[in-house]
Amino acid sequence: MELVSVKDLTKTYSKHNVVDHVGFDLHPGKCVALLGPNGAGKTTTLRMLAGFIQPTSGTILFNEDTLSKDFRKYVGYLPQHPSFYPWMSGEEFLHYAGQLAGLTKHEVSDRSEKLLQLVHLTDAGKKRIGKYSGGMKQRLGIAQALIHQPKLIMLDEPVSSLDPIGRREVLNLIRELKKDATVLFSTHILNDAEEVSEEILLMNDGKLIEQGPISEIRGMQQTVTIRLSFEKEPKFIHEKLKEIDSVYQVTEENGVFDVTVHDLNAARKAIFERVQEEGWELSLFEITSGTLEDIFMKAVNK
Amino acid sequence: MQWTVILKKELTENWRNFKWIWVPIVFILISIMDPISTYYMPIIIESAGGLPEGTIIDIPMPNPSEAMMMSFSQLNIIGVLILTVISMGTISGEIKSGVYELVLAKPVKYTNYVTAKFFSYWLLMIVSLFLGLLASWYYINLLFGDLAFSQLIVAALFYACWLTLLIAIVILYNTWFKSPGLIAFLSIITVIILSVMTNIFSHVLGWSPAKITEYIAIYLHTGDLDTEIWFSSLIALLVSLSCLLFAIVSLRNKAID
């Protein structure tokens, strides 16, 4: 049974559909990456799911609760650039956030101690947030999102503003989180999505253009691209590559050839035969497609 | 309860940024400033010198109720200005900094958010107002003569209705505009327009909240409460309430970007 079911979600700002009839389900215990270029409508989608902007049309249903419209109690949300009260300490902010979510004083001090430990802020917990670094704020942001043990955790670009160490820490944290909850995070960095998530939602220009498990999406690809380059460019290489049966398209850029083929094995065999017969001085042979980047570029340029 | 959680946070914030210290002190200073300087004016002029030999300084001493009105008229200018400035960013600042997004991601009721914020500034206003007027009353009794304590309390309560309206207006503008400076400017302009309109059309606008100070002067002088002071105070409270309701509605419909 799905945790959240989103149907026909649309948000219109001044006649422009920022989010355009988007529909998907989120299943418990999964980590889902929301991918898309900047301005694709990722943040707006997350904000509607977080319950604090109202959709123009469409529905968001939590299976827990079909009656109340306020599902914020099931959701933990971290905005892209979280900002806090600089005069509070990290611990105080967690207490505040927890009590806003309806936790008692006792529950909240218990919970915030655990969370500060989880995000490695135990020592900094008593320090004023004004003195925190960017990475510490991001981690405190994750802790405050988790304070009321939400079923769905949503993180908006959680790693894009972090240095490599901070990025690694947050990705590891996301792996921890999906043990207890569903995680939905937006990113435009494909490696991050590939690393921690099982499913992706790919958005462009307000529309959802691909969705499903990463492996499935990879399998759906009809063609494969082989990248070739040569020490010395053979004569008529363009034409000769095109003669191969399963080759469908050849493009060249700065001496690097991208050969799109239908049947990888047949094409590979044919290319190596030519290498032998014609004495091509091959310096690079790489199968480049089937990566998320490839899928992303294809879907976005469609 | 969520409302008390937000109120407590607001009180702590205003304690840590020293508003709970400097606002009452400034209110006390502006309340006692005019009565005291009026009383000592002959001495000040004399010691400043420069007057020809034999000049007789004869400044008529105000009576206690007139001296009290000096405090009110200072509060009406500087007090209003201070209250506007300290509350101009209470919601807009949180929206601007982005912390509003975190608060809102929790199941926070807009009603709680707006009213708790309003109440925290209302408390600060009431405490500062009473301390200021109390100090003024002390010096007036010392220097000008008796003024009943009960009269002071009644006058302060009616005046508080006027300042309540001011805070409600600032809170409403907080939900409409993003820039604290603009909010302060528009709030002051609103108060000025209200006062000017009331002066121009005073024969039909007897119920205007801007008239409260005028009625207080009459009350302090005669000791009688006219129906008009009740009426204009009631209007002030009703308009405050509608400002808060509007603020809640407009915050609920606000798009965050």
Contacts of B16 in chain A (CB under 8 A): 87
Whether residue A92 is found in the same domain as residue A235: no
CB contact under 8 A, A52 and B105: yes
Whether residue A229 is found in the same domain as residue A210: no
CA-based nearest residue in chain A for residue B107: A72
Contacts of A99 in chain B (CB under 8 A): 2, 5
CB contact under 8 A, B107 and A84: no
What is the pLDDT, as a whole number, of residue A290? 61
CA distance A188 to chain B (A): 19
CB contact under 8 A, A100 and B255: no
What is the pLDDT, as a whole number, of residue A240? 82
Structure tokens at B142: 């010392």
Contacts of A50 in chain B (CB under 8 A): 105
CATH code at position A117:
3.40.50.300
Residues 249-268 of A with CB under 8 A from B: none
Say if B55 is an interface residue toward chain A (CB within 8 Å): no
- DSSP per-residue letters across B26-79: HHHHHHHHHHHHHHTHHHHHHHH--SPTTPPP-PPPPPHHHHHHHHHHHIIIII
Q: Tell me the pTM.
A: 0.84
Domains held by chain B: number: 1
Domains held by chain A: number: 2
Say if A82 is an interface residue toward chain B (CB within 8 Å): yes
Whether residue A103 is found in the same domain as residue A32: yes
In order of A5, A89, A108, the CA distances from A86 in angstroms are 37, 8, 20
Contact A153, A126 (CB under 8 A): no
Task: Give the lowest-confidence range in A111-125, A163-177, B81-95.
Answer: A163-177
Considering only residues A50 and A296, tell me which one the structure prediction assigns the higher pLDDT. Answer: A50
CB contact under 8 A, B106 and A53: no
What is the pLDDT, as a whole number, of residue B115? 97
The percent of residues above 70 in pLDDT, for chain A, comes to: 94
CB contact under 8 A, B105 and A145: yes
| Rounded CA separation A114/A108 (Å) | 10
Whether residue A83 is found in the same domain as residue A20: yes
Pair type for strands A182-187 and A31-35: parallel
CB contact under 8 A, B102 and A50: no
CA distance A280 to chain B (A): 57
Say if B99 is an interface residue toward chain A (CB within 8 Å): yes
What is the pLDDT, as a whole number, of residue B36? 92
CB contact under 8 A, A81 and B98: yes
Contacts of B97 in chain A (CB under 8 A): 83
In this prediction the ipTM stands at 0.88
Instruction: Check pLDDT > 70 for residue A145.
Output: yes
CA-based nearest residue in chain B for residue A92: B9
Considering only residues A222 and A270, tell me which one the structure prediction assigns the higher pLDDT. Answer: A270
Give me the phi and psi of B85, to 5 degrees please: -65, -40
Whether residue A205 is found in the same domain as residue A260: no
| Closest Cβ–Cβ partner in A87, A102, A141 for B107 | A102
Q: Final residue of a domain: which of A215, A233, A254?
A: A215
What is the pLDDT, as a whole number, of residue A17? 87
Q: Where in the sequence is the domain holding B108, given as residue range(s)?
A: 2-256
CB contact under 8 A, B99 and A52: no
Q: Specify the amino acid at residue B150.
A: S
What tens digit of pLDDT does each residue of A27-49 get? 888 899 998 888 888 999 999 88
Single out the residue of A42, A4, A7, A33 nearest to residue A213, CA to CA: A33
Q: Final residue of a domain: which of A215, A243, A278?
A: A215
Contacts of B256 in chain A (CB under 8 A): 47, 52-53
CA-based nearest residue in chain A for residue B95: A83
What is the pLDDT, as a whole number, of residue A222? 66
Whether residue A188 is found in the same domain as residue A297: no
Whether residue A134 is found in the same domain as residue A20: yes
Q: Where in the sequence is the domain holding A65, given as residue range(s)?
A: 4-215
What tens digit of pLDDT does each residue of A7-24 get? 888 998 888 888 889 999
Whether residue A136 is found in the same domain as residue A172: yes
What is the pLDDT, as a whole number, of residue A271? 86
Say if A130 is an interface residue toward chain B (CB within 8 Å): no
Single out the residue of B124, B95, B93 nearest to residue B7, CA to CA: B124
User: Looking at A14-165, which runs of residues are DSSP E strands?
Assistant: 16-26, 31-35, 57-62, 75-78, 152-156
Considering only residues A212 and B132, tell me which one the structure prediction assigns the higher pLDDT. Answer: B132
Question: pLDDT per position in chain B (257 positions), as tens?
Answer: 899 999 999 999 999 999 999 999 999 999 999 999 988 888 888 787 777 777 777 778 888 889 999 999 999 999 999 999 999 999 999 999 999 999 999 999 999 999 999 999 999 999 999 999 999 999 999 999 889 999 999 999 999 999 999 999 999 999 999 999 999 999 999 999 999 999 899 888 888 999 999 999 999 888 888 888 999 999 999 999 999 999 999 998 876 65
Whether residue A84 is found in the same domain as residue A174: yes
pLDDT band, very low/low/confident/very high, at A94 (cuts 50, 70, 90): very high
Instruction: Check pLDDT > 70 for residue A219.
Output: no
Single out the residue of A216, A214, A190, A221 nearest to residue A298, CA to CA: A221
Whether residue A143 is found in the same domain as residue A25: yes
CATH code at position A260:
3.30.70.100
Q: Specify the amino acid at residue B231.
A: F
Say if B1 is an interface residue toward chain A (CB within 8 Å): no
Whether residue A176 is found in the same domain as residue A268: no
What is the pLDDT, as a whole number, of residue A65? 60
Contacts of B106 in chain A (CB under 8 A): 72, 97, 100-101, 148
What is the pLDDT, as a whole number, of residue B46? 79
Mean predicted confidence (pLDDT) in A258-268:
82
Say if A43 is an interface residue toward chain B (CB within 8 Å): no
Q: Final residue of a domain: which of A215, A248, A264?
A: A215
Whether residue A209 is found in the same domain as residue A231: no
Structure tokens at B61: 């001493």
What is the pLDDT, as a whole number, of residue B194? 94
CA distance B109 to chain A (A): 9
What is the pLDDT, as a whole number, of residue B230? 93
What is the pLDDT, as a whole number, of residue B161? 96
Residues 105-134 of B with CB under 8 A from A: 105-108
CB contact under 8 A, A53 and B255: yes
What is the pLDDT, as a whole number, of residue B256? 66
What is the pLDDT, as a whole number, of residue B15? 96
| Rounded CA separation B171/B89 (Å) | 9
CB contact under 8 A, B105 and A50: yes
